[in-house]
Amino acid sequence: MLTDERRPAPAQPEPPVEAGARRRRRPWSTVVVFLSPALVLFALLVLTPIAIAAYGSFFEWNGFGVPTAFVGLENFHRLLVDEIFVGDLRRALLLVVLSLCIQLPVSLALAMLLNQPLRGRRVYRMLFFAPYVLSEVVTAVLFTMIFSPNQGLANHITRLIGLGDLGATWLAEPDTVMYSLFLVISWKYFGFHTILYLAGRQGIPQELHDAAAIDGAGPWQAFRNITLPLLGPTIRISVFLSILGTIQLFDMIWVLTGGPIRSSETLAVTMFQEGFKRSHVGYASAISMAIFLISLTFGLLYQRFVLRRDLEGAITTIGDRR
Amino acid sequence: MSTTVTEQSPRNRRHLVRGGVLHAVSIVVGATVLVPIAFGILGGFKDNGQLFANPFGLPKPWVPGNYLDALGSSAFWRQATNSLAVAIASTILVILVGAMAAYIFARYAFPGREVLFMVFAIGLMFPFAVAILPLFVLLREMNLLDNPLGVVLPQAAFGLPITIVILRSFFRGIPAEVEESAVLDGCGPFRFFWRILLPMSRPALGTVSVLAVVGSWNNYLLPLIVFNDAQWWTLPLGVQQFQSQYSADTARILAYVTLAMLPSLVCYAFAERQLISGLTSGIGKD
């Protein structure tokens, strides 16, 4: 597809003009000059690394020089029997399920709340969204302190409500660490989804709700039969972003639980451990490819089958629809 | 739903109760957000003994030492400067390069345009994590480790998809007549782009800039692998390093974390609208 650009500009006849005489000349040189910086940057630093990962995943390779020890699908085969990798998938699934069943419904409810004529709702909205602007690292360090056994806040809270020293072990116990993580993730991201839903809700014409009220619909009926269906596109995008974000989770976990507790690793953390800490670059490339294929497959299937009806909007705008 | 005038007063009472419940819920949620942040801010003013004995209340007495130490250290200011410089450079680069491409995608018809655009749009689904390992290998080959460009260039590259997608749809909203009359007046594509299109697109440029700045300011994974030398560290790296260095001194860490999150919160207070419109672009308008 790049061949279009490589043709020498003067030799190229003018492209067929769709809009007839109204369109002015569109010389190829302009296209090339304006487009090539983005293409070069994107090809060199986004596409090439992914190609290297794809290639490297078929080798046993320590990351230095050109990979030579071709092992075929061995790395991928290893993945399937690697307890930690399979555990990564299970943990990602757990986080996705928790997000879809708890975090997003709560965000939706809060968006409905913020849509009410409530004094000070601007302040509430601003407050709910604030954690989103903090970096994951800052959030993680803050919550490490909160979960710290002695001076932490979590412990004091659990003691206050009669749960003893439960808070101290939240991040240390393999059984609870994922739930603590989910808590922190929700704390940081619920406001983002609330804002999405609120924007979606405010895009629904008020006449529909007025008409429903005149016809005698109660608030729940109006929500169930008007708000929810019309919020469909927004909800589908929010679910999409939530799942994609979970698949790629790294910073939060690396800082929050880090090192020895492999019971909280995610795909990206395992990849980082193998690639950067153990120099198993070939194997880590295979994990990268797994993340890539999972994201891409999920993304494309989701776009194809779920977002199909509402391909309007920045996040999903693919192709020309004008 | 009762709407007759005679029922005004019970309705009012119901409204009051409803409002009260809604406020109560909002306040509880707001407190959930606020308490960890306040714990950080106030905790920085306590010493470790106070943190242990009195985690909730105000510091008694206020101990500014931890903040003063952090503010007095060259490391903190260096990291803040590095973060800022990297964020500004990445943003300018991604906006310039992205806007140029978006202009072509919005205004020029040529075979292969939609396929090319799709390559960028699918890039929205490429996580940093996938590319980080080969990116490291590549940057090492290009001698860009321990070099700010090693962070700026990949950040700009990964920021291109969202920038192009948002700007293209904005550029399309600008009537073709604007460009036609400019061209009739003898304006070439470069002048049009630089003098007319970009100034007209300020709201959209604001939106994508805020996204780029926030993304860069908060990025951790890329600086982590590129910057080995502490002189290049950005704030997220510094915070994490500070935490492992003083792991026993909770109050000191809280002060450092607070200082690191303050710029984000202040910027958020000022650029809330751009940030939110950037994140919700395409939602709610039909």
Place of tokens 């769709």: A18
Q: What is the mean pLDDT of residues A184-202?
A: 91
- From the list B274, B282, B148, the residue with the least C-alpha distance to A133 is B274
Q: Do A137 and B220 touch (CB under 8 A)?
A: yes
Lowest mean pLDDT among A277-281, B105-109, B126-130: B126-130
Give tens-digit pLDDT for B179-226: 888 888 888 888 889 888 999 988 888 888 888 898 899 999 999 999
Q: Do B153 and A45 touch (CB under 8 A)?
A: yes
**Within 13 Å and on the Cβ side, how many CA atoms surround B122?**
17
Domains detected in chain A: 82-278 (1.10.3720.10)
To the nearest whole Å, the CA of B204 is away from the closest chain A CA by 12
Q: Do the beta carbons of residue A134 and residue B236 sit within 8 Å?
A: no
Q: Do A118 and B23 touch (CB under 8 A)?
A: yes
> Which amino acid type is present at position A29?
S
Sign of CA dihedral B160, B161, B167, B171: positive
Q: Counting every residue, how long is chain B?
A: 286
Q: Do A276 and B133 touch (CB under 8 A)?
A: yes
Residue A164's pLDDT band, with cuts at 50, 70 and 90, is low
Q: Is A162 left (phi over 0), alpha (psi -120 to 50) or beta?
A: left
Residue A151's pLDDT band, with cuts at 50, 70 and 90, is low
Facing A200 at nearest CB: one of B37, B250, B283? B283
Task: Kindly report the average pLDDT of chain B as a whole number.
Answer: 86
- Structural domain spans, chain B: 5-65, 74-279
φ and ψ of A60, to 5 deg: -90, 120
Is the CATH number 1.10.3720.10 carried by domain B74-279? yes
Give tens-digit pLDDT for A168-180: 677 777 778 888 8
Sign of CA dihedral A61, A62, A63, A67: negative
Please identify among residues 210-229 of chain A the ones whose CB lies closer than 8 Å to any CB of chain B.
213, 216, 218
Q: Which residues contact A227 (CB under 8 A, 6 or more apart)?
A: A112, A201, A204, A209
Sign of CA dihedral A240, A243, A249, A253: positive
Query: Rg of the Cα trace of chain A?
Result: 25
ipTM of the complex: 0.85
More confident residue, A132 or A264: A132
- Judging contacts by C-beta atoms under 8 Å, the chain A residues touching residue B52 are 150-151
Q: Establish if A76 touches chain B: CB-CB under 8 angstroms.
A: no
Instruction: Report the alpha-carbon angle A210-A213-A217, nearest 5.
Output: 140
Task: Kindly report the average pLDDT of chain A as a whole number.
Answer: 81
Q: Establish if A9 touches chain B: CB-CB under 8 angstroms.
A: no
The pLDDT assigned to B96 comes to 95
User: Which one-letter DSSP state was computed for residue B6?
Assistant: G
